[in-house]
Amino acid sequence: MVFIDANIPMYAAGAPSSHKERCIQILSWVGEGRLAAATDAEVFQEILYRYFHIRRMDIGHIVFDSLRTVIEQVLPVSADCLWLARDLASRYPTVPPRDLLHVAIMVRHGIRQIVSADTDFDDIAEVERLDPLTMLEPPVSNADG
């Protein structure tokens, strides 16, 4: 199981870029069942916030609904995850709090790999970032998540 970061569906829906086609492919693997994936409630909030901020909620709703149709599992933001994110903030002071919340949720749910274009995750020992530009095939799943 991998964690899908918010930038994957946003790149897939966005303007042509070096990431667009790779992110579309990754979400296709998820939809086809070739890549077991989860995300969290905060990712959906990030999507809505981003498109609200640029006054394109019409697109935000499409991206939100598209991710909702392919994602296997949406993990909650629990108080326990908030407390862990706070602890992680002491260890990783240069990493944005939103990213640390994703990491905390991943740790609490036994997910080690995150598919993300965000290189901030490279500095966090608790997770392994899978770069969408270098994912030529879905990673091999294991029983540990």
Residues 100, 101, 107, 111: is their CA dihedral positive or negative?
Answer: negative
Give the per-residue pLDDT at 141: 60
Question: 55: domain range?
Answer: 2-76+111-130
This prediction has a pTM of 0.93
Average pLDDT over residues 104-117: 98
Question: In angstroms, rounded to a whole number, what is the distance separating the alpha carbons of residues 120 and 56?
Answer: 26
As a whole number, the mean pLDDT across the chain is 95
Q: How many domains does the chain fold into?
A: 1
pLDDT at 119 over 80: yes
Write out pLDDT tens, residues 26-37.
999 999 999 999
Whether residue 83 is contained in a domain is answered as no
Whether residue 90 is contained in a domain is answered as no
Write out pLDDT tens, residues 72-100.
899 999 999 999 999 999 999 999 999 99
Question: In angstroms, rounded to a whole number, what is the distance separating the alpha carbons of residues 62 and 68?
Answer: 10
Whether residue 26 is contained in a domain is answered as yes
List the beta bridge partners of residue 37. Answer: 2
The helix (H) or strand (E) run that includes residue 60 is helix 57-70
Whether residue 82 is contained in a domain is answered as no
